[in-house]
Chains A and B, each alone.
Chain A
Amino acid sequence: MVKATEMSLDHKVIYSIIEKGSRVLDLGCGKGELLYPLVRDKLIRAQGIELDDKAIQECVKKGLSVFHDDIESSLNEFPDNSFDYVILNQSMQQVKKVGDVIHESLRIGRKVIVGFPNFAYFRSRFMLFFRGKSPVTRSLPYLWFDTPNVRFLSVTDFKNFCKEKNIRIVEAHYLGEKKEIRFFPNLLALNAIFVLTSH
């Protein structure tokens, strides 16, 4: 059983955003580490999508409902506004057609919560600038040859993306190693979490 105190910082932030009784879709829900406490404490109606069948076993063990599917092909059959929240946490950087996934998420969800590792984090910048190496950080822990990530973006990149696509950012959280960060997020944040709507 996951206690609120055992949750990772990004999960804690998302957990606090979601209201009681919400309908929530978690894209790339893993073993249900985020959905389970939400179901338990906030009585949300949860649905997960996950590609790894061992993770699905864990979800079913927790009583969560999951579709065995990849994020990109799984969204189009949901009717409009099927969910209050669609969560795309730490999975967007592994998605090829990011624009389509966010667009579809905004169609099927009232709000979309996006969480991703910030590529412009100062340690990443140092590694690239001074050492001439692809960054390996706490939020981007992989080496270049075995990373599942296909998208590398910064806080600023994502904000520009939203502006261009006419997506409203209604809430922004910038995460350091242990707590939220208030200043110079593009430089100091390891991870960013945005709450988006389409209008």
Chain B
Amino acid sequence: MKVIKNKIIDSTSVGVVETKSFTFAEDGEKFKFEKGDTLGPIALAYETYGSLNRDKSNAILILHALSGDAHAAGVHAGQDDTGWWDEMIGPGKAFDTNEYFIICSNVIGGCKGSTGPSSINPKTGKPYALKFPFITMADMVNAQCRLIDHFGIEKLLCVAGGSMGGMQALQWLSAYPERIKSAIPIATALKHSPQQIAFNEVIRQSIMADPAWRDGNYYEHGQPEKGLSVARMIGHITFMSDQSMEEKFSRRLKNDKFSFGFDADFEVEGYLRYRGTNFVKRFDANSYLYITKAMDYFDLSGDKFIPNGKDVHARILVISFKTDWLYPSYQSQEIVRLLKRRHVDTTYCELTSTYGHDAFLIEVPEQTALIKHFLDKTFNGYLVAGHGKSN
């Protein structure tokens, strides 16, 4: 979670980090989108933690969720907010920066430094807005692949992420099985169910119904604040569970009595409004539209996941959470079912948690232990344990 103010940077933090930028598809070369459009140059914002070893075998690509960005761990100079997966990335943590080289990049179509709808179209000098090509999960992964090439990394030790990050991990597995040694898809799905598409559609409609959206051309006037903030409020409801909301808010009031008006009486109302307003400051409305659509279009179900004739030698760790009703465990079990059919070396664990979909960002100990051990065995081999590790 990002709201840990004034957190002391201790020995388990990666410390002060900086977002960098990688540009490709320059000098006439264009990046080809899955839908057929071409565009160039493309910039990807990224951060790295830890150091790449000599044979480049310790690189892990962290994949962010819908509203995430390249800032996964540590703090930016002069700021208090830690990265979105700071609990998981750092010295001695699940993604141990003493051992591994961690890369996290903002997806193509995003708004945190990577080329997306809010980027300036060099031809017009104005933001692309809805002229930006439609993006897919494959486009996100193909762009990441260019970044990995740039580092000269032949094979990633692991690709890992939750929610939409998990979809990208599955896309990596499907498209580039030979370039990954392992994958950790968390709280995710091979395709969106009608319920998930429905939520995304309500989210998009609330943005587009705001007159301030102006068919996407709002950049001179400012964000469609009302619509985007309602969109985010809907999202936050789906990230929590009935139980976690009861624990967090119950029916507690912000003031002692009802206002008998339409102010935020209940703490839960205040929370959602706060989340909504905050989101407007940090996320581009058009990016939200594009990325939610990319999630809805994503479909690796059935034979599309691991095409016939393709062998997968990667190890897979699939994690789901019991109270996650946005990405229910049956969707993770479907991933496992397909991996099982193809004899892919897979571990699946459904973790107990009250936090709903948010669990992958919040729930630390069990998830940390699973990932830490899984990575250790993937990196150091099976039989090292108990025989004394060399490092």
Contact = CB atoms under 8 A, between A and B. Distances in A.
Interface of A: 1, 39-40, 47, 53, 56-57, 59-69, 77-79, 82
A60 B348 contact: no
B347 A60 contact: yes
Interface string B335-366: 01100110101111111100000000000001
B373 A60 contact: yes
Interface in B112-159: none
Contacts of A39: 382-383
B239 interface: no
Closest 4 CB pairs of A and B: A1-B386, A63-B377, A63-B382, A61-B373
Contact of A60 (B343, B351, B352, B374): B374
Contact of A57 (B343, B348, B370): B370
Contact of B350 (A57, A59, A60, A68): A68
A79 B383 CA distance: 28
A69 B340 CA distance: 13
Contacts of A62: 385
Interface string B319-347: 00000000000000100110011010111
Interface of B: 315, 317, 333, 336-337, 340-341, 343, 345-352, 366, 369-370, 373-374, 377, 381-383, 385-387
Contact of B337 (A56, A63, A65, A77): A77
Given A57-B369, A57-B370, A62-B385, A67 B341 contact: no
A53 B352 contact: yes
A67 B348 contact: yes
B350 A53 contact: yes
A65 B386 contact: no
A67 B346 contact: yes
A66 B347 contact: yes
Given A57-B369, A60-B374, A77-B337, A65 B346 contact: yes
A79 B349 CA distance: 22
A61 B385 contact: yes
Nearest to A79: B341
A67 B345 contact: no
B139 to A, nearest CB: 31
